């Protein structure tokens, strides 16, 4: 019963962390929008039916029934079709855009069949969506529209949300790295193997006929702290690995500290095989496609991990590395999704570094929290780091230059700036704002793709989840 409660607690903690992250993301849009004078009609956490709301000034603040997103509704996010017309109100949130744009555009295409017949379904979708929301811009407040702002102000508003995710991630990573520390291999023995299995071996465990590993044969025990090897003081575990691997069949004098006392242990590394890792971290292959191996010396001992507090200067590089990792996943997303499909509907295993849904994140949080053998501080650090990593994923994902994501609105503003620059250089009339409403059909296509991707990941996280260990 206690394990179940801890599992649920882990899910709740991460869910609250994500809800706060979403709220702060939308706050990153809200603050600059109000500072620049844009009329904001709503600030909502979640989507679907409203559970609670309160109006302060001209803005309604509230919580929706389905807490999987958030949005602010700004007047005139899409410009009018013609100069002098009235813009439509739209929102910054992904799910809200899905509901609002799909509902309005899809329903209104049916209303004006003549427009559809004359111009086609996509053109009708754009025109009717724009027309149906034009009256949301209040009379006399056309100057308070989003599209009427200077380009740099629009970019600041749209980048405000991802920027908040970046700030959250930096703060959480600082708490974990500088407050708790990063796990590193210590100079203390963590485990001692019974035998040594070559990398090419098909065995999964030791059999009674297998000879003892050199470490076990020499009497090395978990908890022993390595002091020196052949008279060379041990500074870190990487030094130990380097000496041992370069000394197959050569007797080494290993000095260890056990229960406060130093003792000399003669040990001879055994010659065995290990896989060679390539630049991408995966196993390198020979010309014939077989895995590449090296002959090295091994003792069959591993290091105990310990938390080492990092300086604040280590936080930004860690965040940067995480951003690069998420960006790499997104760049190779089609292949990643194929791998997820093969794992979900076939015998393949999930990539532990692959994409996850909110279900997968919740399962990992629950599993980590429910493991009583892990110290509470370690579990808390893991959950904090998990929420930080999710914020980095939100940051990178929202910067994709496609509507309805924040990056799509930034791309539209930048394109407008380029058009105006060329018009100025060639002394042509100001082309006016970019009509981003024209990409509504593409927006709906993106929404459909993202929805299908989410369903696939949720299914995979249910039938073949990724384990945190």
Burial 20-42 (b: 16+ CB within 10 A, else e): ebbbbbbebbbebbbebebbbbb
d(CA 317, CA 323): 10
Compute the radius of gyration of the chain from its Cα atoms.
29
Question: Strands 261-267 and 40-56: what pairing?
Answer: unpaired
26 a catalytic residue: yes
Tokens 């076990």 -> residue: 216
CB atoms within 10 A of CB 314: 15
d(CA 371, CA 351): 22
Question: What's CA 77's distance to the chain center, in Å?
Answer: 28
Question: Strand pairing partners for 233?
Answer: 228
Annotated catalytic residue: which of 2, 26, 81, 367?
Answer: 26
Distance set, CA 323 to CA 90, 172, 313, 314, 389 (Å): 29, 14, 17, 14, 9
Q: Please list, in sequence order, all residues whose beta carbon lies within 8 angstroms of the beta carbon of residue 301, skipping any fewer than 6 positions away.
A: 189, 191, 192, 193, 213, 215, 220
d(CA 14, CA 389): 11
Q: Please list, in sequence order, all residues whose beta carbon lies within 8 angstroms of the beta carbon of residue 34, skipping any fewer than 6 positions away.
A: 40
CB atoms within 10 A of CB 274: 14
Distance set, CA 85 to CA 106, 135, 138, 282 (Å): 22, 10, 12, 57
Structure-block tokens of residue 427: 């002394």
- The dihedral built from the CA positions of residue 345, 351, 357 and 358, taken in this order, carries a sign that is positive
3-state secondary structure of 245: helix
Burial 85-98 (b: 16+ CB within 10 A, else e): ebbbbbbbbbbbbb
Residue 146: Cβ-neighbour burial (10 angstroms; 0-12, 13-18, 19+): buried
d(CA 248, CA 429): 78
Catalytic residues: 26
């Amino acid at each position: 019963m206690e394990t179940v409660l801890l599992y649920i607690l882990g899910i709740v903690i991460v869910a609250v962390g994500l809800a706060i992250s979403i709220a702060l993301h939308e706050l990153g849009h809200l603050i600059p929008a109000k500072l620049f004078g844009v009329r904001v009609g709503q600030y909502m956490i979640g989507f679907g039916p409203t559970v609670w709301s309160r109006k302060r000034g001209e803005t309604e603040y509230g919580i929706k029934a389905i807490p999987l997103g958030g949005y602010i509704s700004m007047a005139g996010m899409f410009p009018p079709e013609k100069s002098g017309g009235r813009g439509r109100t739209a929102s910054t949130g992904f799910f809200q855009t899905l509901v609002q744009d799909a509902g309005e555009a899809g329903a209104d295409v049916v209303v004006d069949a003549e427009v559809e017949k004359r111009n086609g379904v996509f053109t009708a979708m754009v025109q009717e969506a724009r027309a149906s929301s034009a009256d949301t811009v209040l009379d006399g407040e056309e100057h308070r529209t989003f599209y009427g702002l200077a380009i740099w102000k629009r970019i600041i508003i749209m980048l405000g949300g991802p920027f908040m995710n970046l700030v959250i991630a930096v703060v959480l990573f600082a708490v974990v790295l500088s407050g708790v520390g990063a796990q590193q291999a210590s100079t203390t023995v963590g485990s001692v193997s019974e035998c040594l299995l070559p990398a090419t071996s098909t065995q999964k465990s030791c059999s009674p006929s297998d000879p003892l590993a050199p470490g076990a044969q020499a009497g090395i025990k978990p908890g022993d702290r390595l002091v020196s090897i052949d008279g060379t003081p041990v500074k870190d575990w990487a030094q130990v690995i380097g000496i041992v691997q370069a000394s197959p069949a050569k007797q080494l004098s290993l000095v260890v500290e056990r229960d406060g006392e130093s003792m000399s242990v003669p040990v001879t590394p055994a010659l065995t095989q290990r896989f060679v890792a390539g630049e991408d971290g995966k196993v390198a292959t020979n010309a014939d496609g077989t895995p590449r191996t090296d002959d090295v010396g091994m003792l069959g001992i591993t290091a105990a991990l310990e938390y080492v507090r990092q300086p604040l200067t280590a936080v930004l590089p860690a965040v940067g590395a995480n951003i690069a990792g998420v960006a790499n996943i997104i760049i190779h997303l089609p292949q990643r999704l194929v791998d997820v499909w093969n794992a979900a509907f076939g015998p393949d295993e999930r990539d532990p570094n692959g994409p996850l849904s909110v279900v997968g994140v919740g399962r990992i949080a629950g599993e980590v929290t429910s493991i009583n053998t892990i110290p509470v501080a370690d579990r808390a650090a893991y959950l904090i780091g998990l929420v930080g990593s999710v914020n980095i994923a939100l940051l990178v994902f929202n910067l994709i230059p496609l509507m309805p994501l924040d990056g799509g609105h930034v791309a539209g503003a930048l394109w407008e700036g380029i058009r105006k620059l060329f018009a100025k250089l060639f002394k042509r009339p100001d082309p006016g704002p970019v009509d981003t409403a024209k990409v509504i059909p593409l927006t709906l296509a993106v929404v459909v793709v993202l929805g299908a991707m989410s369903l696939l990941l949720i299914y995979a996280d249910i039938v073949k989840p990724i384990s945190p260990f």
